[in-house]
């Protein structure tokens, strides 16, 4: 969550929905306050800002990432954060649920299984999807670090049957959020959404073991970090996200996604309609 006191504005970060892009834009044009989190964690604001990007232990919850907390968790465990949300204008970004699930799946494999270059059509992706669905099945509100990217988007918009956020925008029309912010707060922002996942082309699979060996055993860390972006943007890799809707995860997984995220489908449709109404008013 981000709080801009001067604008009385809160941004609730739904995992996998361009939160870094929004934070980068807001931090350049508005003064962010971390007093809400400092109060809830019992630390100073400098430490609270660092904690937003870290894993912290919270009594009754275990290890969580403060940047990725759904409203039911905030309401129950972070009283000052909850009070800040309730007293401010707020917005979120939404995304088609299956696309978000697939993106979260690929991030999980990279972050927790060291498979950062795995292709989206690899059989292990389907296996991991089955595992994640089994974990989610029947589970109540959660903030577990390894699974938080699979939380429902509606849990960042509503709580106890009540709409909490003031506005919601679809990620594919993020410019509408910028227009709303200009109208509501006077902030003029540009959101750069350039965190596009890359995967090796099918013919390049044989190169991966040798490349990993060189990276881990031969190259100094500083040099590896310097050339990694060049390597990922080379012709050996291609954008992956555009293929997600073409890859079948199996009937059980596909059925689970449709059922578990049914409310998110409706929420995203609402965000699209909200953005379209804003566009019409802007033109008029």
Taking only the tens place, the pLDDT of each residue in 10-20 is: 999 999 999 99
Q: Label each residue of 154-183 as H, E or C.
A: HHHCEECCEECCCEEEEHHHHHHHHHHHHH
Q: Residue 258 has which token pair?
A: 């449709």
Residues 117-126, mean pLDDT to the nearest whole number: 94
| Planar angle of CA 95, 92, 182, nearest 5 degrees | 115
> What are 63's strand-pairing partners?
57
The pLDDT of residue 198: 45
Query: CB-based contacts of 173: which residues, under 8 Å, 6+ apart?
Result: 272, 275
More confidently predicted of 117 and 133? 133
Tokens 């999980």 correspond to 108
| CA–CA separation, 137 and 101 (whole Å) | 14
The pLDDT of residue 214: 54
| CA–CA separation, 240 and 234 (whole Å) | 14
The pLDDT of residue 236: 52
Residues listed for the chain: 284
Query: For residue 176, how many other CB atoms are within 10 A of its CB?
Result: 22
Residues 52-75, mean pLDDT to the nearest whole number: 96
| Planar angle of CA 38, 85, 7, nearest 5 degrees | 90
b/e code 63-83 from CB counts within 10 Å (16+ = b): ebbbbbbbbbbbbebbeebbe
Q: Residue 97 in contact with residue 265, Cβ under 8 Å?
A: yes
Model confidence at 184, pLDDT cuts 50, 70, 90, reads: very high
What 3-state DSSP class applies to 118? coil
The pLDDT of residue 62: 94
Residues 118-136, mean pLDDT to the nearest whole number: 97
Structure confidence by residue, pLDDT tens digits, 194-245: 555 545 565 455 555 655 555 566 667 777 666 656 555 565 555 556 789 9
Model confidence at 155, pLDDT cuts 50, 70, 90, reads: very high
Mean pLDDT in the chain? 89
The pLDDT of residue 1: 96
Structure confidence by residue, pLDDT tens digits, 22-44: 999 999 999 999 999 999 999 99
| CA–CA separation, 15 and 103 (whole Å) | 10
Given a cut of 70, whether residue 81 has pLDDT beyond it is yes
Identify which of 98, 22, 15, 92 has the alpha carbon closest to the alpha carbon of residue 270.
92
Asked which of 181-185, 194-198, 259-263 is least confident by mean pLDDT, the reply is 194-198
**Sign of the dihedral through C-alpha 211, 215, 218, 220:** positive
How do strand 89-94 and strand 9-11 relate by DSSP bridges? parallel
CA-CA-CA-CA torsion for 159, 161, 165, 166, nearest 10 degrees? -160
């Amino acid at each position: 969550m981000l709080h801009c006191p001067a604008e009385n504005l809160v941004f609730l970060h739904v995992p996998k929905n361009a939160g870094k892009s929004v934070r980068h834009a807001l931090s350049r044009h508005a003064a962010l306050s971390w007093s809400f989190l400092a109060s809830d964690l019992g630390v100073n604001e400098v430490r609270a800002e660092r904690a937003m990007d870290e894993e912290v232990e919270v009594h009754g919850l275990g290890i969580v990432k403060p940047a990725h907390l759904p409203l039911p968790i905030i309401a129950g465990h972070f009283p000052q954060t909850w009070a800040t949300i309730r007293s401010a204008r707020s917005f979120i970004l939404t995304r088609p649920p299956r696309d978000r699930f697939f993106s979260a799946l690929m991030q999980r494999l990279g972050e927790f299984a060291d498979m950062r270059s795995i292709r989206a059509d690899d059989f292990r992706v389907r296996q991991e999807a089955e595992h994640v669905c089994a974990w989610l099945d029947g589970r109540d509100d959660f903030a577990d670090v390894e699974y938080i990217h699979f939380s429902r988007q509606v849990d960042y918009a509503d709580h106890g049957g009540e709409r909490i956020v003031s506005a919601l925008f679809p990620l594919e029309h993020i410019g509408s959020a910028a227009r709303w912010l200009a109208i509501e707060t006077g902030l003029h922002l540009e959101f750069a959404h350039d965190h596009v996942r890359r995967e090796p082309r099918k013919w390049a699979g044989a190169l991966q073991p040798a490349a990993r060996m060189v990276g881990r055993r031969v190259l100094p860390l500083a040099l590896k970090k310097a050339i990694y972006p060049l390597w990922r943007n080379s012709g050996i890799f291609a954008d992956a996200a555009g293929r997600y809707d073409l890859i079948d995860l199996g009937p059980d997984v596909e059925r689970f996604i449709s059922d578990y995220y049914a409310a998110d489908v409706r929420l995203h449709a609402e965000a699209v309609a909200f953005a379209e109404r804003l566009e019409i008013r802007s033109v008029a």
